[in-house]
Structure 1
Amino acid sequence: MHPKVHAEAQGDKPAVIMAANDEHISYAQLDRRSNRAAQYFRSIGLNTGDTIAICMENHAHYFDIVWGAQRSGLVYVAVSNRLTAPEIAYILKDSGAQLLVSSAVMASQLAELERIAPGISQLVYGGENPGGAEQVLAAMPDGPIADERAGTDMLYSSGTTGRPKGVRLPLPENGDIAATNALIMLAQGVFGFNADSIYLSPAPLYHAAPLRWCMAVHKLGGTVIIMDKFDPERALQLIEKYQVNTSQWVPTHFVRMLKLPEETRVKYDVSSLKSAVHAAAPCPVPVKEAMIDWWGPVLMEYYAGTEGNGFTFISSPDWLEHKGSVGRALLGTIRICDDNGDEVPPRTEGAVYFEGGPQFTYHNDPEKTAKAANKHGWTSLGDVGWQDAEAFLYLTDRKSFMIISGGVNIYPQEIENLLVTHPKVADAAVIGAPDADLGEKVVAVIQPLDPETVGEELRGELDAFMRETLSGVKLPKQIDFRDELPRHATGKLYKRLLRDEYWGKADSSIV
């Protein structure tokens, strides 16, 4: 299926609702606007296999561009609008983008990009420029181009552990723009998405999951509700207002909603929800328990990456029987391996690999591509975990985040998952910092719910709270406080930035 099919069958149905101003974009409008985008791409010489980049906020015209690129056989790169101009320039150059589509909100970055990336054309929404995107695209024909062919995305890692790398997938062998794919089958068969889906997307569209799931809903003929930015109470309001039945979240969204006052949480009707999909990071057990108690057994968790090399899934009923698991593999076969790349027995911790999943490459980085595979050809996203006897996967942490203190391996995720359940903690990060005796010491960096509570009393309270659960070796030797942690808008923590700061590294840029 494809939005053009739904435009013909139910043209007045909303394809997109912008939550900030209740703007409705029908399937007929989306079809015409994406056709104009495709016509524009051809008019400036972009052909099958060429690359464009999209760097703007959650904008009403975002889907015009991605669907226009999809039906033009282009590779479209979604870039975070939170990056600086040099960071954006790196991705533009690395991806080979010939056109950057953006908005006037990014005027300062765009002006600098004209200087440091002069060879890349810009198409900008908003502002008074007569050559702006609205005027240019309005002049294009609104019928399909003669040579429609399916394109694909090229998405970059969030740079939480180093310079972001693009995952470039080949164009679909079947050039049919309406052809189905594995993601559509998962959306339908696993998460229950269909033409009746009213899907709430609270995250930035430049990230893999929000962009791909929104496009899956469009292929199936549902309605996507886009938040300009996440706000916990506003999300609850939207669920009630639009009778949202499907949605996609990350654990930090759950934590922030659970921190709302009880009287705020209970006043909104969320009974319309049938599937609340979540991923990006393992959800702390107490947090997920609380969400299931609140929303019912509608939480559906998966583990996957932009690389697309594997996919696991777990429903709420299965999770309640296997608390802490991210599920069993639906795409690929999970292999837990030791440092030699050999498989280890159940309940033994090791590197998580997928066997038999789709192959991928990191664009312009053959070394990183090679490191992602072991001697068997199985591929990994860099996570550590274990499987139980029933093949349910449990993630421990990312290998790159492991702390080695006095020769003992400590995974920060366990400590972070505990700290965020404390009623006075809004967010938490745990890292290793240099220590003369131990090599590394465990440091907890806390974002308090109320800045007025910061001080020795709260440090003591948190220490006592952790001692009830953690062994002494895992207890942070230092607890620091921050107004805000460097967390990606998708929920991922830029832990590398904190590590670099504590280790005294000068370059702590995101890329």
Structure 2
Amino acid sequence: MTLRTGLVSGDRHLSNEQMDERVRGAAVGLSKLGVEPGATVALLLRNDFAFLEATLAAQRLGAYAVPINWHFKAEEVGYILEDSAAKVLVAHADLLADIAHAVPAEVTVLAVATPQDVLQAYRIAADKGAVPAGVEDWDAWILTHDPALAAAPRSSDSMIYTSGTTGRPKAVRRQPPTPEQAAKVVAMRTMVYGFEPGMRSAMSAPMYHSAPNSYSINAARQNGFLMLLPRFDPEVLLQTIEQEKLTHLFMVPTMFVRLTKLPAEVRARYDVSSMRFIIHAGAPCPPDVKEAMIDWFGPIIHEFYGGTESGPALYCTAEEWLAHRGTVGRVIDETTVQVITDDGRVAKTGETGEIFMRIHYYPDFTYHNQDEKRREIDRDGLITCGDVGYFDADGYLYICDRKRDMVIVGGVNIYPAEIEAALAAMPGVRDCAVFGIPDAEYGEALIALVQPLEAGTVTAEAVRAYLKTRIADYKVPRQIEFRAELPREDSGKIFKRVLREPYWRDAKRAV
């Protein structure tokens, strides 16, 4: 069987040559709209060809693509358009109706007809997907520009807005790389992502997130095969691996959990032997889940650790992880990572503290229009993403939790991620979230919100009994509640802030 190459989304296909031609045409068109080096092009798009076309065209001009979380309300979208000073907004047609009034008058809008696979995945009425009257159609617009007129390509990165615990999202605006920096970044990403020419991949995580964004953009440059899936479905992914003979994937731990929760007969139905390299990041992975994935797919499950600001500063192979269960990796070349204690010391082996890091050839960044926020996370040239962890004697890093998620119960520091990892492995549990709630005596108490596979199959008593065999008694949540669903982003990350808010609303304090 001859395998197709290029980009696929639903029943649509673009060859790599067609994709390159459309990107060059879009770059010519964006240049005519005033997009120049350092300018910004905003994207309000789900996973679709246009996302990659607009991003690659902007980067070709030395401009910044600014992907916007399409779940945002009009006011939030409007804030990002104004804050980023976007010249152009490229948006799916069905999303425009609700946010059009928030688009600044100086922003040129290009509408993308919402494709059928996206309409079906999100149960959107077919008539909502058409480009509205009076708005420029992205596909038709590209064809009006001669790709042969495209200037020599420049280099830039996406400008990703990161959401904090409070306030507005902040944009990570990275300086343009020197040729030497650009070459080293390409080599680093090739190693971490496992890229190789002709690789065959798929992306189901939302590309407005930092790691899926970087992976997809660079995977599209490998002259192989890339399928864009509108959202993650575990069995659909297995079908895609078998049918398209995929070789490479980026995933997040929630995807692993959902894959391993599939019935054994479903998992056995699909041939995944074509897979050669899976990289995961974005959240702590329960060790039992990762072991199950390695048992299933083989020792091809690799991991990196870093944030939007830092880049992937640490990396570990499946073999390294099996020898150092629970690690997120060792420091990559030309990178400094330090664990800093609360009293400002560099931590000793096994001692916990906040993690600071810097890839020395990675172009520096600031938070767009918020330089003071950039200074807040800096320590002697190293930056923190707010995580807490420690190094073992072999130089492998382990993450305890987010610094802001740490719960202090009667003066004892407790890291919910450890409890969540243990609970996620319990039979009958689909997912969980552990956090602190106000307690008059101890300051905070632990609560676990548990999403069972089936209602009524898991009890609070069973949860406590299970956890007591795996973690210290003082770490077992005092309060256990059950939820049919837990609020989460498309990436699978749980909105813990949303879960915490009702419990702290009347407490007159935040911790």
In the superposition, the TM-score normalised over structure 2's length comes to 0.90
1:293-312 matches, cutoff 5 A: 293-308=295-310, 311-312=313-314
- The letter for the 2-side match of 1:403 is V
Shift of 1:452: 4.6
Which residue of structure 2 aligns with residue 213 of structure 1? 215
Which residue of structure 1 aligns with residue 124 of structure 2? none
Which residue of structure 2 aligns with residue 132 of structure 1? 137
Query: Matched residues in 2 for 1:215 and 1:56: separation?
Result: 14
1:408-447 matches, cutoff 5 A: 408-447=412-451
Query: Structure 1 regions of 5+ residues with no counterpart?
Result: 1-11, 507-511
Q: Which moved more, 1:128-137 or 1:260-269?
A: 128-137
Which residue of structure 1 aligns with residue 120 of structure 2? none
Shift of 1:161: 6.3
Which of 277, 286, 289 aligns to 1:287? It is 289
Q: Which moved more, 1:390-399 or 1:80-89?
A: 80-89
Which residue of structure 1 aligns with residue 245 of structure 2? 243
Query: Matched residues in 2 for 1:72 and 1:505: separation?
Result: 51
- The letter for the 2-side match of 1:268 is Y
Q: Which moved more, 1:209-218 or 1:124-133?
A: 124-133
- The letter for the 1-side match of 2:385 is L
1:39–1:140: 8 Å Cα contact kept in structure 2? yes
Which residue of structure 2 aligns with residue 78 of structure 1? 67
2:313–2:359: 8 Å Cα contact kept in structure 1? no
Query: Matched residues in 2 for 1:287 and 1:46: separation?
Result: 45
Which of 118, 122, 130 aligns to 2:105? It is 118
Q: Which moved more, 1:155-164 or 1:192-201?
A: 155-164
- The letter for the 1-side match of 2:327 is S
Shift of 1:160: 5.8
Query: Matched residues in 1 for 2:11 and 2:167: separation?
Result: 38
Within the alignment, does 1:98 sit opposite 2:87 as a pair? yes
- The letter for the 1-side match of 2:491 is T
Within the alignment, does 1:395 sit opposite 2:382 as a pair? no
Shift of 1:201: 1.5
Query: Matched residues in 2 for 1:187 and 1:310: separation?
Result: 8
Distance verdict in 2 for CA 1:341–1:483, change over 3 Å: same
1:81-480 matches, cutoff 5 A: 81-114=70-103, 117-126=104-113, 127-128=130-131, 129=133, 131-146=136-151, 148-159=153-164, 163-174=168-179, 180-308=182-310, 311-331=313-333, 332-355=335-358, 357=360, 358=362, 359-374=364-379, 376-453=380-457, 458-480=459-481
Q: Which moved more, 1:342-351 or 1:131-140?
A: 131-140
Q: Which string of whole-angstrom CA distances, capped at 9 and with x for unpartnered residues, describes residues 390-431 of structure 1?
A: 110001011010111111111110111111112221111111
1:445–1:482: 8 Å Cα contact kept in structure 2? yes
2:251–2:278: 8 Å Cα contact kept in structure 1? yes
Q: Which string of whole-angstrom CA distances, capped at 9 and with x for unpartnered residues, describes residues 212-266 of structure 1?
A: 1122223332221211100011111111111111101010000001111000011
Q: Which moved more, 1:99-108 or 1:349-358?
A: 349-358
Query: Matched residues in 2 for 1:343 and 1:39: separation?
Result: 51
Query: Matched residues in 2 for 1:481 and 1:160: separation?
Result: 24
Shift of 1:269: 0.7
Calculate percent identity across the aligned residue pairs.
Answer: 37
1:58–1:226: 8 Å Cα contact kept in structure 2? yes
Within the alignment, does 1:66 sit opposite 2:70 as a pair? no
Query: Matched residues in 1 for 2:382 and 2:296: separation?
Result: 39
Query: Matched residues in 2 for 1:155 and 1:267: separation?
Result: 38
Q: Which string of whole-angstrom CA distances, capped at 9 and with x for unpartnered residues, describes residues 312-350 of structure 1?
A: 111111111100001101151221111233201101111
Q: Which moved more, 1:357-366 or 1:399-408?
A: 357-366
Query: Matched residues in 1 for 2:238 and 2:172: separation?
Result: 34
- The letter for the 1-side match of 2:139 is E
1:155–1:306: 8 Å Cα contact kept in structure 2? yes
Shift of 1:156: 1.5
Query: Matched residues in 2 for 1:133 and 1:338: separation?
Result: 52
Which of 33, 48, 57 aligns to 2:46? It is 57
Q: Which moved more, 1:418-427 or 1:126-135?
A: 126-135
- The letter for the 1-side match of 2:383 is T
Q: Which moved more, 1:179-188 or 1:283-292?
A: 179-188
Shift of 1:443: 0.8
In structure 2, the residue corresponding to 1:307 is in which secondary structure? coil
1:162–1:496: 8 Å Cα contact kept in structure 2? no
Q: Which moved more, 1:472-481 or 1:434-443?
A: 472-481
Q: Which moved more, 1:64-73 or 1:153-162?
A: 153-162
Shift of 1:505: 7.0
1:310–1:354: 8 Å Cα contact kept in structure 2? no
Query: Matched residues in 1 for 2:107 and 2:323: separation?
Result: 53
Q: Which moved more, 1:490-499 or 1:155-164?
A: 155-164
Q: Which moved more, 1:269-278 or 1:457-466?
A: 457-466
1:247–1:276: 8 Å Cα contact kept in structure 2? yes
In structure 2, the residue corresponding to 1:17 is in which secondary structure? strand
- Cα-Cα RMSD: 2.1
In structure 2, the residue corresponding to 1:382 is in which secondary structure? strand
Query: Structure 2 regions of 5+ residues with no counterpart?
Result: 114-129
Distance verdict in 2 for CA 1:224–1:160, change over 3 Å: farther
Shift of 1:112: 3.4
Shift of 1:189: 3.4
Shift of 1:142: 2.5
